[in-house]
DNA sequence: ACACGGCATGAGAGCGCTCTCAGATCTTCT
DNA sequence: AGAAGATCTGAGAGCGCTCTCATGCCGTGT
């Protein structure tokens, strides 16, 4: 690769000199090449490859005010982010969609409160054109920071304030958690289960709350026995513990709806350790239908949500929003809620 | 938040005007504040907070030639990246170390060949100050691109050309895969296993090759029976299939060393499906000791490598390298190889 | 009193790019 | 042939920041 005499990377100027044209013309060629004579364009293209020219992104975004990157903010204080395949799948969907649009993915992990400031500063500094934000808990300060930074934002999972009327109306992608939960619990009932427990996620997340509401719906009009409700915190260990608690509080239970596959894997272990056979003694239904669900013993009946697709939808929504801001500011976009579907295997 | 009259974010100029000083002074305060009188510094600080000023990163890195970000490139064409907790853990280590240094993490996923160009362009465009690169396969074009971009690079796992003398001497962090494999296989032998098979990863990765070499070491001086070697591609499904193949080719096997926990989970399923009891009939040892290893039935004996720590080490090495380039260019850094340790559970 | 060194501050030049606008060139039509 | 229009190209002004260098100010030593 040929460099400029100054030893750094070649600049537009260098390419222009080599091609015998002005900077402006090179710029035009590099950015699409419209309105440049074929012969000149070819000359410039050759100069570009000869010199190994790559536009300097800082200089470009300084003037265009766009960075060609989107920040993905994951706010999980716990080790959960990487233990749960959920995030991975979603990231994958996002990554696919963004690379198709030649947009870069910036991953910002926020674990501590201090990280939160850092993330806020980062967003405000204009490193990204938009934000995808995940797995918010109630009272999370991040949405406010995103709002303050003025960046278009799409949420993964309905934010808590979405329907309260307070705050701006957020753009989000979610699955119909409540309906999925209803399907799961109805399925257990149809199989003859009478004492159906639930292991929930942290209830300050809407997805966890919605699934619990779905559980209630399916039992209505009867009110659920509070001894049949335990919080598993969306982790495998939490699932183990919650299951143990349930067995102690309600030894006669014959079904469990576990609000994530990861927790369900823990619950299955506890059941096995207590000598309960699945599905003969206790029916178990999970939620997510991530790969490991099919690998448990017995294979897990669960509620499928296409997580990768949700990631893709989030990215797509944000990209549309970015384009809309540039071209048709009035355009109203709306949130997406995808359907959930029961997948029956052997656990319940 | 107060904005400038032009509607955009406030600039240095605006802060300077409000504080009644020059741009240069504001810049000094923002970047540490050395050599500015206390009283002036306070005035500037107040102006900064009043206006909600945040430095524009593009402008800054245009002149400093640094971005305050490090790119993490994961080159996995398969769905493996997110199915295997391995990457997640490593990312987590990296993320921790980088945020402590207030450096941003840019995640670049490369799945297709086209992505490779995109990643190369991205790096060359100067979006990052350095690169962390993972899970390379032989003949991967990425290292060459990283090299060409002139960015300091640290590899996760010893790159294939590290000891060949060809190419530049790479900086990497790895575990002692060969020794870990030796420990695993020796353990199986000590437990009386005589026909020990191996399920390898893709052999164009050094980690997979090293583990296979360790397997050979432990059987030496006897040469391994080729019917006892199968490639599981580092995926759970691959592990299932490889195990089935081994059982068909060598029904008398009584031990398996599986080169990743994820593959081992697959192998256990296949063994169960074939009615082989673990560990009574067949002893199984995995590799990685990621969370799910303890959850299999029976819990997996495996080789522990502290993946998160490896991530941290990678980040630390890169950061040192970046500082070295800035301050003491002659400074020689060296790669790190961490120890592996057998963790005995119940599977073998 | 003056010269001198040290410190705090400001003026101004650029970093590499995009984009507007005006000028140059080439068509095409009357 | 000349003018109107369309097409192509270049000059130049910034984008927001950092950093060098010159300048002004102070205290100290002679």
B105 contacts A108? CB cut-off 8 A:
yes
How many Å from the N-terminal Cα to the C-terminal Cα in chain B? 63
Q: What is the pLDDT of residue A274?
A: 96
Q: What is the pLDDT of residue B7?
A: 53
Please indicate, yes or no, whether residues A182 and A166 belong to a single structural domain of this protein.
Answer: no
Please indicate, yes or no, whether residues A160 and A181 belong to a single structural domain of this protein.
Answer: no
**What mean pLDDT comes out for the span B47-53?**
92
Show the tokens assigned to A206: 């809407």
Q: Say yes or no: Cβ of A30 under 7 A from any atom of strand C.
A: yes
Q: What percent of chain B has pLDDT over 70?
A: 93
Over A29-67, what HEC string results? HHCCCCCCCHHHHHHHHHHHHHHCCCCCHHHHHHHHCCC
DSSP state of B299: P
Q: What is the pLDDT of residue A5?
A: 38
CA-wise closest residue to A170 among A200, A202, A140, A215:
A140
Q: Counting Cβ atoms within 10 Å, is residue A304 exposed (0-12), middle (13-18) or buried (19+)?
A: middle
User: Is the predicted pLDDT of residue B218 greater than 90, yes or no?
Assistant: yes
User: Is cis: bond before B298, omega within 30 of 0?
Assistant: yes
Mean pLDDT, chain B, whole residue set: 87
Please indicate, yes or no, whether residues B172 and B313 belong to a single structural domain of this protein.
Answer: yes
A121 contacts B99? CB cut-off 8 A:
no
- CB contact at 8 A, B88 and A80: no
B236 contacts A295? CB cut-off 8 A:
yes
- CB contact at 8 A, A172 and A156: yes
Q: Which of B30, B77, B125, B275 to mutate to test binding with chain A, by most A CBs within 10 Å of its CB?
A: B125
DSSP A173-237: EEE-HHHHHHHHHHHHHHTT--SEEEEE--TTSHHHHHHHHHHHHHHTTSPPPGGGEEE-TTSHH
Alpha carbon dihedral B191, B192, B196, B200, in 10-degree steps, equals 10
B263's enclosing H/E stretch is: helix B261-273
Q: What is the pLDDT of residue A327?
A: 65
Of the pLDDT bands very low, low, confident and very high (cuts 50, 70, 90), residue B2 is: very low
Residue A6 inside a domain? The answer is no
Mean pLDDT, chain A, whole residue set: 87
Look up tokens 């192998």; give the residue.
B267
- CB contact at 8 A, A146 and A75: no
Q: What is the pLDDT of residue A330?
A: 57
Tens of pLDDT, residue by residue over A225-238, are: 999 999 999 988 99
User: Is the predicted pLDDT of residue A281 greater than 50, yes or no?
Assistant: yes
Q: How far is CA B108 from CA A215, B59, B67, B91, in A?
A: 39, 23, 16, 12
B82 contacts A91? CB cut-off 8 A:
yes
Q: What is the pLDDT of residue A1?
A: 38
DSSP A128-173: -SEEEEE---TT-SHHHHHHHHT--EEEES--TTTTTS-SPPPEEE
Residue A195 inside a domain? The answer is yes
Of the pLDDT bands very low, low, confident and very high (cuts 50, 70, 90), residue B332 is: confident
- CB contact at 8 A, B90 and B126: no
Classified as helix, coil or strand, A300 is coil
User: Is the predicted pLDDT of residue B139 greater than 80, yes or no?
Assistant: no
Of the pLDDT bands very low, low, confident and very high (cuts 50, 70, 90), residue B77 is: low
Q: Name the residue in chain B with its Cα closest to that of A100.
A: B115
A83 contacts B88? CB cut-off 8 A:
yes
Show the tokens assigned to A94: 């996002």
Q: Say yes or no: Cβ of B57 under 7 A from any atom of strand D.
A: no
Q: What is the pLDDT of residue A77?
A: 58
Q: Read off the CATH number of the domain in which A194 is found.
A: 3.40.50.2300
Q: Say yes or no: Cβ of A40 under 7 A from any atom of strand C.
A: no
Q: Say yes or no: Cβ of A303 under 7 A from any atom of strand D.
A: no
Over B27-87, what HEC string results? HHHHCCCCCCCHHHHHHHHHHHHHHCCCCCHHHHHHHHCCCCEEEEEEECCCCHHHHCHHH
Q: In terms of residue numbers, what domain contains A147?
A: 69-175+309-339
User: Is the predicted pLDDT of residue A58 greater than 90, yes or no?
Assistant: yes
Choose between B34 and B335: higher pLDDT. B335
Residue A253 inside a domain? The answer is yes
Please indicate, yes or no, whether residues A227 and A297 belong to a single structural domain of this protein.
Answer: yes
* Radius of gyration, alpha carbons of chain B: 26
Please indicate, yes or no, whether residues A296 and A249 belong to a single structural domain of this protein.
Answer: yes
A96-110, A217-231, B114-128: which has the highest mean pLDDT? A217-231
- In this structure, of A5-9, A143-147, A328-332, B236-240, the range with the lowest mean pLDDT score is A5-9
Choose between B14 and B77: higher pLDDT. B14
Hey, is the C-beta of B85 within 8 angstroms of any chain A C-beta? yes
B56 contacts A59? CB cut-off 8 A:
no
Distance CA A301, CA A180 (A): 12
- In this structure, of A171-175, B72-76, B219-223, the range with the lowest mean pLDDT score is B72-76
B104 contacts A105? CB cut-off 8 A:
no
Q: What is the pLDDT of residue B95?
A: 87
Please indicate, yes or no, whether residues B277 and B188 belong to a single structural domain of this protein.
Answer: yes
**What mean pLDDT comes out for the span B189-218?**
95
Of the pLDDT bands very low, low, confident and very high (cuts 50, 70, 90), residue B231 is: very high
The integer distance in angstroms from the CA atom of A57 to the C1' atom of C14 is 17
Show the tokens assigned to A199: 């292991």
Please indicate, yes or no, whether residues A43 and A160 belong to a single structural domain of this protein.
Answer: no
- In this structure, of A1-5, A28-32, B99-103, B191-195, the range with the lowest mean pLDDT score is A1-5
User: Is the predicted pLDDT of residue B69 greater than 80, yes or no?
Assistant: yes
CA-wise closest residue to A152 among A35, A316, A311, A13:
A316
Task: Count CA atoms closer than 13 A to B276's CA, side-chain side.
Answer: 24
Q: What is the pLDDT of residue A141?
A: 83
| Tally of CB atoms within 10 A around A90 | 27
Q: What is the pLDDT of residue B3?
A: 37
Q: Name the residue in chain B with its Cα closest to that of A299.
A: B269
CA-wise closest residue to B283 among B300, B265, B308, B269:
B300
Q: Which of B67, B79, B88 sits opposite A82 (nearest CB)?
A: B88
Residue B182 inside a domain? The answer is yes
Look up tokens 């395949």; give the residue.
A85
Q: What percent of chain A has pLDDT over 90?
A: 56
Q: Read off the CATH number of the domain in which B28 is found.
A: 1.10.260.40
User: Is the predicted pLDDT of residue B292 greater than 80, yes or no?
Assistant: no
A316's enclosing H/E stretch is: helix A307-327
- CB contact at 8 A, B301 and B327: no
Tell me how far the alpha carbon of residue A42 is from its chain's centroid: 43
User: Is the predicted pLDDT of residue A113 greater than 80, yes or no?
Assistant: no
Q: What is the pLDDT of residue A82?
A: 64
Q: What is the pLDDT of residue B44?
A: 93
DSSP B153-220: EEEES--TTTTTS-S---EEEEE-HHHHHHHHHHHHHHTT--SEEEEE--TTSHHHHHHHHHHHHHHT
Please indicate, yes or no, whether residues B184 and B146 belong to a single structural domain of this protein.
Answer: no
Classified as helix, coil or strand, B317 is helix
A-proximal residues of B, 23-42, CB under 8 Å: none
Show the CA angle centred on residue B92, arms to residues B90 and B95, nearest 5°. Answer: 110
Q: What are the residues facing A155 on neighbouring strands? A: A133, A172
Q: What is the pLDDT of residue A161?
A: 80
Choose between B121 and A302: higher pLDDT. A302
**Helix-strand-coil percent breakdown of chain B, rounded to 5?**
45, 15, 40
Tell me how far the alpha carbon of residue B332 is from its chain's centroid: 22
Look up tokens 């979405």; give the residue.
A162
Choose between B224 and A137: higher pLDDT. B224
Q: Which nucleotide is nearest to A43 (CA to C1')?
A: D9
Please indicate, yes or no, whether residues B321 and B172 belong to a single structural domain of this protein.
Answer: yes
Q: Say yes or no: Cβ of B220 under 7 A from any atom of strand D.
A: no
- In this structure, of A45-59, A97-111, A319-333, B288-302, the range with the lowest mean pLDDT score is A319-333
Show the tokens assigned to B281: 């009939």
- CB contact at 8 A, B195 and B255: yes
Q: What percent of chain B has pLDDT over 90?
A: 56
Please indicate, yes or no, whether residues B210 and B229 belong to a single structural domain of this protein.
Answer: yes
Tens of pLDDT, residue by residue over B270-284, are: 999 999 999 999 999
What does residue A184 show for φ and ψ, rounded to 5 degrees? Answer: -60, -50
Residue A198 inside a domain? The answer is yes
Q: What is the pLDDT of residue B4?
A: 39
The integer distance in angstroms from the CA atom of A38 to the C1' atom of D3 is 28
Distance CA A15, CA A32 (A): 16
**What mean pLDDT comes out for the span B75-81?**
63
Classified as helix, coil or strand, A303 is strand
Choose between A111 and A277: higher pLDDT. A277
Residue A318 inside a domain? The answer is yes
CA-wise closest residue to B50 among B78, B22, B20, B77:
B20
Hey, is the C-beta of B345 within 8 angstroms of any chain A C-beta? no
Q: Say yes or no: Cβ of A99 under 7 A from any atom of strand C.
A: no
Hey, is the C-beta of B79 within 8 angstroms of any chain A C-beta? yes
Phi-psi sector, A233: left (phi>0), alpha (psi -120 to 50), beta: left
Residue A294 inside a domain? The answer is yes
Q: What is the pLDDT of residue A319?
A: 93
Distance CA B195, CA B203 (A): 22
Q: What is the pLDDT of residue A329?
A: 55
A104 contacts B108? CB cut-off 8 A:
yes
Q: Which of B54, B122, B126 sits opposite A104 (nearest CB)?
A: B122
Q: Name the residue in chain B with its Cα closest to that of A84.
A: B85
Q: What is the pLDDT of residue A2?
A: 36
CA-wise closest residue to B1 among A188, A216, A124, A56:
A124
Residue B103 inside a domain? The answer is yes
Please indicate, yes or no, whether residues A124 and A18 belong to a single structural domain of this protein.
Answer: no
Please indicate, yes or no, whether residues B97 and B171 belong to a single structural domain of this protein.
Answer: yes
Hey, is the C-beta of A292 within 8 angstroms of any chain B C-beta? yes
The integer distance in angstroms from the CA atom of A328 to the C1' atom of D14 is 27
Find the length of chain A. 348
Tens of pLDDT, residue by residue over A143-191, are: 888 887 889 999 999 988 877 766 678 899 999 999 999 999 999 999 9
Q: What is the pLDDT of residue A85?
A: 72
For residue A122, give every residue at least 6 positions away whose Cβ sits within 8 Å of its Cβ, in sequence order, or none.
Answer: A71, A108, A128, B104
Q: Which of B61, B108, B272 sits opposite A58 (nearest CB)?
A: B61
Hey, is the C-beta of B54 within 8 angstroms of any chain A C-beta? yes
User: Is the predicted pLDDT of residue B1 greater than 50, yes or no?
Assistant: no
Give the total number of structural domains in chain A.
3
CA-wise closest residue to B65 among A7, A14, A53:
A7
Q: What is the pLDDT of residue A236?
A: 87
Tens of pLDDT, residue by residue over B83-130, are: 677 777 888 889 889 988 888 888 887 777 777 788 888 888 888 999
Name the pairing type of β-strands B196-200 and A130-134. unpaired
């Amino acid at each position: 690769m040929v460099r400029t005499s100054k030893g750094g990377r070649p600049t537009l100027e260098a390419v222009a000199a080599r091609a015998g044209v002005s900077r402006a013309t090179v710029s035009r060629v590099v950015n699409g090449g419209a309105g440049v004579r074929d012969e000149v364009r070819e000359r410039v293209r050759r100069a570009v490859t000869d010199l190994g020219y790559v536009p300097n992104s800082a200089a470009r975004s300084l003037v265009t005010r766009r960075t060609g990157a989107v920040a993905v903010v994951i706010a999980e204080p716990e080790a959960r982010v990487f233990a749960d395949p959920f995030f991975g799948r979603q990231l994958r969907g996002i990554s696919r969609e963004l690379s198709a649009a030649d947009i870069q993915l910036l991953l910002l992990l926020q674990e501590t409160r201090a990280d939160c400031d850092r993330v806020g500063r980062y967003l405000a500094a204009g490193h990204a054109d938009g934000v995808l934000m995940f797995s918010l808990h109630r009272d999370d300060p991040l949405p406010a920071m995103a709002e303050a930074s003025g960046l278009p934002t799409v949420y993964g999972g309905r934010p808590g304030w979405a329907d309260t009327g307070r705050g701006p109306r957020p753009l989000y992608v979610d699955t119909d958690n409540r309906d999925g939960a209803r399907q799961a619990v109805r399925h257990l009932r149809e199989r003859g289960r009478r004492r159906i427990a639930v292991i929930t996620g942290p209830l300050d997340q809407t997805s966890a709350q919605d699934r619990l509401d779905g559980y209630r719906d399916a039992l209505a009009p009867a009110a659920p026995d509070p001894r049949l409700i335990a919080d598993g915190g969306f982790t495998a260990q939490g699932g183990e513990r919650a299951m143990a608690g349930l067995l102690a509080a309600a030894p006669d239970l014959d079904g469990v709806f576990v609000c994530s596959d990861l927790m369900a894997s823990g619950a299955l272990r506890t059941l096995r350790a207590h000598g309960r056979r699945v599905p003969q003694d206790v029916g178990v239904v999970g939620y997510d239908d991530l790969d490991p669900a099919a690998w448990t013993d017995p294979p897990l009946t669960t509620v499928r949500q296409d997580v990768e697709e949700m990631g893709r939808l989030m990215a797509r929504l944000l990209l549309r929003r970015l384009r809309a801001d540039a071209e048709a500011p009035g355009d109203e976009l709306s949130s997406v809620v995808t359907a959930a579907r029961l997948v029956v295997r052997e656990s319940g």
